[in-house]
Every structure is written in C-alpha cells, then in structure tokens.
Structure 1
C-alpha cells in the first residue's frame, strides 16, 4: 500500500514553519523570512515584499517538505556563525539555481562538491567578505552538508541534526527520515521518536529505565533527550 499516493515523501509538505524552526534550532522569524519572504518599508512609506530564499512545497498553506528542511539546515550554517544578509543570500542561491538548473540547489549533491565554493565565492563578493571569512564559511557549510545522507542518485534522503555541536561531527544518534514516522526525529535505526523518549523522561522515567525498556543504550537515550531539550 502506497501511503504517499505515488508522490516522493521527500517532496511532500510535512512541516510547519514553527516545527522547522524547532528542528534546526533557528528562530521562527528567520525561517519565515527564508521560506516566505518578508515585507519591509520603503522611503515612500510603502511596503515591499522581499522574495523568499527557497521555494517551499506548499506556499498556500505555508508547509515545507523534507527537501526544504534540508535547504534551511544548510542555510542555518551561515546564519549561526556568520550572520545572514537576506538579499545577498537570495542572490547567491539564485545564482546556484541558474548554474545547476535546479529548483533546490542547496539540497542537491552538487552543493557538496563545487556548489559550496560557488556559493561562498558569490556570497563573499556580494558582502565583501575577506578570504579568511570565506574559508570559515566553507568549513562551516561542509560540516552541515556532512549531516545529509544521499541515495545513489545523490538525492537527500536523511538528515542527521546536530544534537550537541559541530565539534562532534560523527555523532549520528538522531535522524530525520521522511519515510520513517512521517519525518519526525527518531533514534537512528530504531524508528523510535525522540519526542516519545523525552516525554517519558519528563514524566519521571530515568534514561536507564527507558533504555532497558526499549533495548537501547543509556547514551542513545540521553542523546535523544538532549536533542529534544535543545530543540524545545
């Protein structure tokens, strides 16, 4: 039985803006600006729409797909350490869109090869970033791109969100897979939602008790709790 109606779950509108903000730990206002654009005042007291950076799955209902989630995960790499000038970021993404002939260049496999250099160089030109600043952006982007798992065609199929910091790049305890639990964060390889584990912990169960009940290590349980507490 095809529960997706013949559609690729990667493309289905599955996440609200508040949920995306929680999953990638970015303010809702920032996600809204990236996904929907933003109106700003002009000198003649009119309000002009600043175009969104990405193209979301369902603009009418303001719901985003897993692919959109991956795009915003990549964008959050720049925002976290370098700040974001929305106009310049959109221009840099538009440049990649034309160069790669892709609607979602930030989520494409090319972003992990020449895309990173092209994006940083283009963005760096627009904001007059130093060589050192551009190199720092490339390193930061690479660490975020490494959290994306791809299939044989290069399409993003899973995202391993950071549960602590980029200083622990090999920790992949939590996964977001659009084909498992409708794309909600789970412990890798189990299908167990991290939200369920966090609820049990808040209800008074210890990590050791939860681990024993579901047959996982205490470390994995603590990682799930940590992720949910940081995402809250």
Structure 2
C-alpha cells in the first residue's frame, strides 16, 4: 500500500536524484545537493535555497520544477551572486509573483532587476547590484536560452521542457515517465533506446524495429544520450 501511495504522490511531479539532475542540466551534483538540501560552513548549518518539490527526506530527490529552477541558480552563481542573495531574491520573487518557483517564471525576465535592487539593500551583494543596475549584465544572466524549450501553462507555470535547442524530439514532462527524458512523439524513454542501441551493435534500424519507431527517432534519442553523457 505504501508503494502505491508513494507512486501516486510522484505522478505529475517528476523525480530525479542529484546525479540525474546533473546529467540533464550539466550542473555538478555536489552543487545541486548544496543548493537544494543545505550545507554546513564553520560548524553552522544552512538550509537549502527553497523547500524541494518532494520535501526534505533521506533520499534527497528533486522534482521537475526544482530541476528547472537550479539552472537559474547556476547562472547566478557563474556571475558571482552569493547564495544569501539568491535565497533573498527567490523569497521576494515568490511573494511578488505568487509562484513557488519564480526564477523559471517568464515575468522574472522583466521584473527581476527591481527585485535584485531590493535584495542589495538586504544583503549588500555587489554582484547582484551590478545585475540590478546594468541591463546588459542582467540579460547575460537571465538569457533567453534559459527559458527556451520550456512550455508554460496559462498561469505561467512551467509544465514541460524540451532540452535540445530548436527541437521538440525529446521532452522532460513530469506527467510522462516521472519526468525522465522521452521521445515526445511516442513516450519511449531515451535511456532504454540507447541501451538497446548498444546491445544491438549500434544498429539504429534494428532498434527502430524493436521499438516500432522511426529510425530518425532512434537517432534523436542516441544523440541526446551521447550529449548528456559527454
């Protein structure tokens, strides 16, 4: 009964280990663990930047929206924004947008600078002040590429992500295969296709027969799995 209840709770949420999230985003698993599940500095415990979608538990799992949101944290960190400032920006944006995952929200592209300016008053973070004052710097961080491939609901909530630029062949959708990468057209997970491709001596035509999908779909899955493994 517990297994059934657990599986039901995960439907439409997506579930990823930090290692899987690292594969799909290109962000180091150690950073993902630190940002989402907390860390200790000089004997002081610091909580994660927000409460993960699946809550805090021993397994340390991310949900679909956590997966997308950490891509923005990574962009901020690459521009030397402190975790304290990111935490404060996330908190303020949540209150303003009434969304639990505000960085992923398209509105952050236009209203983020004013939030950063307020956060500077709270944290004194010079890097975040630079983003608030300079439009060019802000656009470098909140780049269109971060939003590209994300489909939104009418309320502005991310509902699926196409991770390959200018392609909808592969999708991460929390309502399909627990958010793991699948072929958009058939729902077959890319990892299974890739394993079959290796087992069949890299014969894409043979794999297409096994899964009853076009050879082009096999090629798309194999190319994607190669890319995330690189």
TM-score class, shorter-chain normalisation, is 0.7 to 0.9
Q: What's the offset of the Cα at 1:27?
A: 0.5
Distance 1:152 1:101, change over 3 A: closer
Q: Using the alignment, how far apart are the partners of 1:216 and 1:83 within structure 2?
A: 45
Distance 1:181 1:89, change over 3 A: same
Are the aligned partners of 1:10 and 1:157 in contact in 2 as well (CA < 8 Å)?
A: no
Are the aligned partners of 1:15 and 1:64 in contact in 2 as well (CA < 8 Å)?
A: yes
Distance 1:50 1:4, change over 3 A: closer
Are the aligned partners of 2:169 and 2:220 in contact in 1 as well (CA < 8 Å)?
A: yes
Q: How does 1:171-182 map to 2 (within 5 A)?
A: 171-182=167-178
Are the aligned partners of 2:172 and 2:182 in contact in 1 as well (CA < 8 Å)?
A: yes
Q: Using the alignment, how far apart are the partners of 2:213 and 2:35 within structure 1?
A: 40
Q: What's the offset of the Cα at 1:49?
A: 2.3
Distance 1:78 1:188, change over 3 A: farther
Q: Using the alignment, how far apart are the partners of 2:209 and 2:81 within structure 1?
A: 44
In the alignment, structure 1 residue 199 sits paired with structure 2 residue 162: no
Q: How does 1:68-217 map to 2 (within 5 A)?
A: 68-79=66-77, 82=79, 84-107=81-104, 111-113=105-107, 115-123=108-116, 126=125, 127=127, 128-129=129-130, 131=134, 132-138=136-142, 140=143, 142-162=144-164, 169-203=165-199, 204-213=201-210, 214-217=212-215
Distance 1:39 1:208, change over 3 A: same
Q: Deviations over 1:136-177 (max 9, x none)?
A: 223x2x222232112334332211123xxxxxx321221011
Q: Deviations over 1:91-140 (max 9, x none)?
A: 22122122223332234xxx213x223334544753142622222223x2
Residue aligning to 1:165: none
Residue aligning to 2:45: 49
- TM-score, normalised relative to structure 2: 0.77
Q: CA RMSD in A?
A: 2.8
- TM-score, normalised relative to structure 1: 0.77
Gap runs ≥5 in structure 1 = 42-46, 163-168
Q: Using the alignment, how far apart are the partners of 2:18 and 2:37 within structure 1?
A: 10
Residue aligning to 2:11: 9
Q: How does 1:10-25 map to 2 (within 5 A)?
A: 10-11=12-13, 14-25=15-26
Q: Using the alignment, how far apart are the partners of 1:152 and 1:129 within structure 2?
A: 32
How many residue pairs get aligned? The number is 211
Gap runs ≥5 in structure 2 = none
Q: What's the offset of the Cα at 1:29?
A: 0.8
